[in-house]
A and B are shown apart, each in its own frame.
Chain A
Amino acid sequence: MWKGDRGKAMKVMKNCALAARLAVHYAPWNALLYFLTCFIPGFFNGCKVILMQRLVDSGVAYAGISLGAAGVHSTAGVQSMNGAHPAEDMAITGTVLVVMLFVWFVLERLQGCEEKVLESRLTRYMAPDIMDKLGKLEYCDFEAREVQEVLQRISGEPWQNVKGCFVGSMRSIYALLSLGFMLSVYASVSFWIGAGIFLVAIPMLAMNFAGTKRLQSIWRNTTMQTRRIEDLKLLMQNKNAMYEMKIYGSQELIAGKWNEASCGVEREIRKTGRSVMALEGGSKLLNLVCLVFIIIALTFLFLQGRVTTGQFVAVIGTLSTITGQVYSATWTVTDTFRSALDMEFYREFLALRERTDKRNVKSVNHGDITFENVSFTYPGTNREILKNVTFRIRAGERVAFVGENGAGKSTLVKLLCGLYEPDAGRVLIGGVNVRDLSEELRGKLLSVVFQDFQEYELTLRENVALGDISALKNDARIRQALEQAGGTELYLREEKGLDRNLGHLEEDGKDLSRGQWQRVTIARAFLADAAFCVLDEPTAALDPVAESRMYENFFRIFHKNGTVMISHRLASAKMADRIMVLDGGRIVQNGSHEQLMETEGLYRTMYLAQSSWYADNEEKGAGEESADVEKEAGEECADVEKGAGEECAIVEKGTGEESAIVEKGTGEECASVEKGAGEECASVEKGAGEESADVEKGAGVESVDVEKGDGAESASGRKGIDGESGQEKRRCMS
């Protein structure tokens, strides 16, 4: 236990030192001034005692002289004057006292003011540094659970903590200094009084510390309950939850849980509160005993003539001050302890590792996206999300990734954006590791619409321009982008046009529906006009009409740019040049819609399942048929899901044979690996793995050739083909 306390004390010292260093670094003059406003008044309480004593003594002496009354103690008083004339002495002491009080109060005010100024300075200079540091963190740390708490604290106002710690430690200096000096003044009056107060002060301090510690243990012991209460409160502030609860009548259940938690907290506080009160009451009693002792001792000494009138008055007059000092010292020191421990998160934050990517490549030769044997597991988990994924997307190609929930599609996007470093393999754009691309270049190559896209509470203009900040003042471009995204109504009917505020931050701000936000986000992507636009399920919140409009628009406008899209709605995948099907972290199918529909496989199953909803009723028979087919397909798919390795392999083989050579390569690879696993022979598997690597490499080269053969050599030629096929497709659809 002592060890723990010592560790804590070390932490406190370190954090206080850190806070002081930061304060001096960011606002040297204010920190110094603040220190002085704490340090100088530390002597004032003691000085006040001395001055008051002299004032009264000289007054008494003067009164004794002028009134001519034979005061009993006048001799003692006169002796202490060192021979100076009492009136003169009184005047000087009085002046000094008044000046001191004036300085004291001014310093106190200054302290309050400096605290605020220090805070604003810290905010001003520290925040950009923290932002820079945040910018340097690895993205995976933002998702890591251990770092969550640190980040959450940082997202509050970390400079407040630094200020609190600094201010607290300065105030502790003041409190301890003041107490120490006062005690020594008392001791100079009478050793016994000083010693008495000192002796009583120690158990008082100890008891107060114990009380505070116990109080803090309350918050520790009730974290679970308080969190539960907070959670339930959020539920009750949520209109959707309220709706559900009203309909379900589950409010009683919620209220029950709430009561349970809050009563638990109450019980805990009552229990601990009692002992805290007992401790504090005890220390007060001790305080009282001490006071009575001092008064009696002082009176006794006074009557004996060993204490002057001035001393007597000064000590008794400041008794309440010194007990107050003892208390405030306890409070300040414990408070400082707490705020210093509270600052621990900032030290942890500073110690977080910084990202290793270089981000210095300014240009690339071509814009192909390549995944080379990429495997990925989220840090801190043990499920491999992507398993040895290899593919290549040519510049300008439209590719769709489809797959079930949890197949690894969104992870793939994150890797493509360079947010994560793959565990194995490489992610390249134009032959350069994505993580080495400079930020501007990456912005030119990729623009991304994430599934959980953010709603920025800025103006509409800013929201769109986030895609390309240089276009912030370019109304025409922003309007065009919004128009392309089908969001003209967002600014046309509005009073402030593009400069309208979105969200609730401003008084005149209005919130948009999720569908409207989606348009804004897509407009952002249009504005960015990057070589590749990555769409991670962008249409989930749109209604069907808006969805198909958006896709039509999207491909019309993005006919030159490449697209990587992820969608649950396979209809939209159909528009892509190539579809890759992800299952369990692997690419199991690869080809155009027509190719994939010709083969039995996951894609066909999924497509039939979805399109069955739209089978026409005029051909009801066909509809039923398709439902049958779909049922079969469903069963089949379930089998596949169950993971019968062989079946899967066969399916894969089938795909491989019927589609391009590339597929064959991957199909065989898959099959061999699966077979290896089936035979439970590690060496064979290894061999197969190596083999497959070779095969795959071959396939890779081949695929490049094939692409070239397709006419990819000349960009214009390819584009022409793409355009034609796209038009054809569109014609087919309509």
Chain B
Amino acid sequence: MYVMITEKKRGRYFLRCIQDIMRFMPLLFWGKLFTSIAEGILRVWQPLLIAEIFQMAPVLNDANTSVFECKIIFLCVCIGFPSVCTILLRAVGLYGECRKETFYGREMYGFARRMRLEALEDKKVLDSFRKADAAYSQHLAGSRMFSYLLMDVEAVLICISTFFVVGSFSVWLLPGAILGVVPHLLLDLISERRRNRTYRGQSAKRRRLAYLWRLFCTKEPVKEMRTMGFQDYLKEKWVETNVDVVREMEELELKSVRLSALGVLVRNCCYVANVAVALLLMLRGKLAAGQFAACLMAFGLLQDQLFMLSGFVTALIQSYHHVEEYYDFFQAETEDADGGVCHSMKEGCTVKADCTSGKDCIREGCITGENEPIGRGSSAENGIRLRDVHFRYPGAEQDTLNGVNLDIKKGEHVVIVGVNGSGKTTLSKVLTGAYGAASGEILYDGISISEIRKKELYRRLSLVSQDFVHYHFSFRENVCISDFEAMYDEKRIRKVTDAMGMQELIQGIGGLDVQLGREFGGRELSGGEWQKVAIARGLFRNSGLIILDEPTSALDPLMEYEVLTGFLNLIQDRTSVVISHRVGICRYADKIVVMKEGRVVECGTHEELKSAGGEYARIWGEQAKWYK
């Protein structure tokens, strides 16, 4: 279902990244590219000009003064030009920092919003999600790679042009110049590669170290650690793991220092040899004194560039890793805003054509909004029907839903019960279309869910999920986010908050527009209060179908009673699906659906199922016996 391109072709994102950079900062792109190349060529003129000035100076006369002055000016330009380069480089850096969220972030999270929900169940996708986020927000993937790329281009150009200049003085100088650079660079790259490999090999251990370390600094684990006294064990574990990591690191560094000493030796020998050759050439009269000086400076230049190059090349490789991480994320499958799945849009046109009619049908049907009369059609067409629905989580070995058949009629209150892991929550997610079923059909008013525009479908649903979200927004936004166009409909808010018995709470925190959550200096609510907010959120939306997943787990008995009765009063005229561990609520349901191992094993009213003596009777008995 979820396809990830596993075979990695190096450099496959290179062009894409460059294209993005061109879109991202067109002016800076061309400007910086130009100056980098210019700098790469200009730099070598510096020693040349100095040598020529030096040559000319003793024999200065009226005739060549103007040439001399020109050369001086040119030299000034050559020396001054790097300033322009660095300024532009800074601009690239700043601009990259400045627009990273509005460019890379917008692109990435825009994509994330279109992603299919089950993709987020996949560990690999989540991992790549986090990596991609860090890649652009911390490592500035694209713009940083661009900077390093240009720096490399610059350094390489300088080296090449220096080779040319030195070679033009004498061919004999060329081998020394090249040998002074290339082996050292290669050795550096080798040790860098080794370092990378070691780091990658250690990543699991490092993750473990970081994890254990965090335990020591976080209050919940500390609480358990202190009461049960296992901090020493964890500490020992940390120390043991760390010893390995440290030993490997130190060995590696020792090796790399040896390797680079070798490189330095080779380079310096070449340098000395080259100086000697140049001296010899000068003594033979094949090299002017000025040229000799220019040579010396050129060799110095090469050494400098070499130093930078070995740093920049490894930096480039590293930043390219981040670029890969960023673009890898875009491999995930998306859900088209208009309906079906993006990647399977081959027959998209026909699907879209059907959509309009589908939309109309649905307006007539069972899950319509509040202004539709209740219970109008009782035909089999009116309602939700699941036929042999299968679903498997990405990466899982077995189906979580294993052929579910279910009918929900309009206006019915359905309760789904079952033991942990029986597939209740998954069923609700398949029902809402958030998860695409692998096989089988889901019909809304007789129309297959795949033919309905997702947006249209979602608009008719409401939801209180098990792990509902604590938005760190205002209280009002927390409730009204389910239908934010009606954010200031005080009457509706009032209706919902009254039903949930929240007036006191609202007054307590100081009004609807108070910020919630400590992170932004707002009020913190207790678990039970948050749960009420979540239920209010679900109720606020005027939807035909409302799904509640474990709505009262954090509430005490009195509050539970209060909240559930308030809830039941408000949803009398809507279709509802409630998932609960507490079978007590089943008495109020029109239909009880009992799930077991991904199948619906029983279906009926409380009385029917209880007298049937099956799974439901068992669960009910288990729970009710405590209250007798």
Contacts and interface: CB of A to CB of B under 8 A. Distances in A.
Most buried by A among B54, B126, B271, B282: B54
B57 A513 contact: no
Interface in A49-81: 52, 55-56, 59-60, 63, 66-67, 71-73
B224 A405 contact: no
B238 to A, nearest CB: 7
Interface string B319-348: 000000000000000000000000000000
B542 to A, nearest CB: 12
B590 interface: no
A66 B285 CA distance: 11
Interface string B109-125: 11011010100110100
A258 interface: yes
A29 interface: no
A477 B119 CA distance: 40
Contact of A442 (B76, B223, B227): B227
B582 interface: yes
Contacts of B622: 544-545, 548-549
Interface in A605-637: 605-607, 609-617, 623, 630, 634, 637
Contacts of A59: 279, 282, 289, 292
B249 A317 contact: no
Contact of B76 (A72, A292, A440, A448): A292
A227 B519 contact: yes
B228 A466 contact: yes
Contact of A617 (B57, B268, B541, B587): B587
- Interface-centre pick from A145, A292, A543, A605 (highest chain B CB count, 10 A): A543
Contact of B220 (A120, A127, A296, A450): A450
B143 interface: no
A154 interface: yes
A180 interface: no
A355 B139 CA distance: 41
A544 B553 CA distance: 12
B264 A105 contact: yes
Interface stretch (A3-11, A13-21, A273-281): A273-281
A450 B223 contact: yes
A539 B86 CA distance: 63
Interface stretch (B147-155, B166-174, B380-388, B413-421): B413-421
B490 interface: no
Contacts of B303: 101
Interface in B303-327: 303
Contact of B233 (A120, A469, A609): A469
State which size class the interface on B falls in: 35 or more
Contacts of A120: 245-246, 249-250
A320 interface: yes
Contacts of A265: 98, 101
Contact of B557 (A101, A245, A269, A570): A570
Given A73-B58, A507-B204, A135 B231 contact: yes
B58 A71 contact: yes
Contacts of A572: 626
Contact of B101 (A262, A405, A571): A262
A94 B102 contact: no
Interface string A723-734: 000000000011
A690 interface: no
B471 A235 contact: yes
B555 A313 contact: no
Of B110, B120, B554, B562, most buried by chain A (CB within 10 Å of CB) is B120
B520 A228 contact: yes
B468 interface: yes
B57 A466 contact: no
Contacts of B554: 405, 540
A151 interface: yes
B264 A116 contact: no
Nearest to A733: B625
Contacts of B484: 248, 250, 253
Given A269-B97, A454-B221, A610-B557, A243 B117 contact: yes
Q: Which of A233, A265, A448 has the most CB of B within 10 A?
A: A233
B98 A273 contact: yes
A571 B106 CA distance: 51
How many interface residues does chain A have, given as a range? 35 or more
Contact of B626 (A110, A242, A292, A571): A571
Contacts of A414: 223
A545 B554 CA distance: 18
Interface in A450-465: 450, 452-454, 456-457
Contacts of A513: 420-421
Contact of A317 (B297, B528, B583): B297
A155 B469 contact: no
Contact of B268 (A66, A98, A253): A98
B583 A544 contact: yes
A127 B455 contact: no
A194 interface: no
B300 interface: yes
Contacts of B162: none
Interface string B584-628: 110100000000000000000011001000000011101111111
A640 B281 CA distance: 107
Nearest to B231: A135
Nearest to A251: B113
| Most chain B beta-carbon neighbours within 10 Å: one of A245, A250, A453 | A250
Nearest to A226: B101
Nearest to B114: A251
Contacts of A216: none
Contact of A419 (B227, B471, B585): B227
B217 A154 contact: yes
Interface in A119-155: 120-121, 123-124, 127-128, 131, 134-135, 139, 142-143, 145, 151-152, 154-155
A233 B101 CA distance: 11
Contact of B610 (A157, A405, A617): A617
B178 interface: no
B432 interface: yes
B50 interface: yes
Given A240-B467, A247-B434, A606-B556, A123 B625 contact: no
A248 B556 contact: no
Contact of B559 (A127, A309, A405, A448): A405
A418 B223 CA distance: 10
A2 B460 CA distance: 62
B226 A419 contact: yes
Contact of B98 (A270, A295, A448): A270
Interface stretch (B7-15, B87-95, B353-361, B370-378): B87-95
A227 B284 CA distance: 70
B47 interface: yes
Contacts of B421: 513, 515
Nearest to B584: A613
Contacts of B26: none
Given A295-B75, A454-B220, A544-B619, A277 B246 contact: no
Contact of A155 (B117, B133, B217): B217
A110 B541 CA distance: 66
Interface stretch (B77-85, B403-411, B443-451, B570-578): B77-85
B481 interface: yes
B48 to A, nearest CB: 12
Which 9 pairs between the two chains have the least Cβ-Cβ distance?
A: A613-B584, A571-B626, A155-B217, A262-B101, A611-B627, A239-B120, A269-B98, A142-B219, A614-B624
30 contacts: A56-B296, A94-B272, A102-B268, A113-B256, A123-B242, A124-B243, A151-B217, A235-B469, A236-B109, A237-B129, A247-B434, A248-B483, A248-B484, A258-B105, A258-B106, A265-B101, A295-B72, A303-B57, A403-B556, A405-B528, A405-B559, A419-B226, A442-B227, A446-B227, A447-B228, A456-B221, A541-B420, A548-B623, A571-B623, A612-B561
Given A296-B72, A545-B419, A549-B622, 4 more contacts: A63-B283, A116-B253, A117-B253, A250-B484
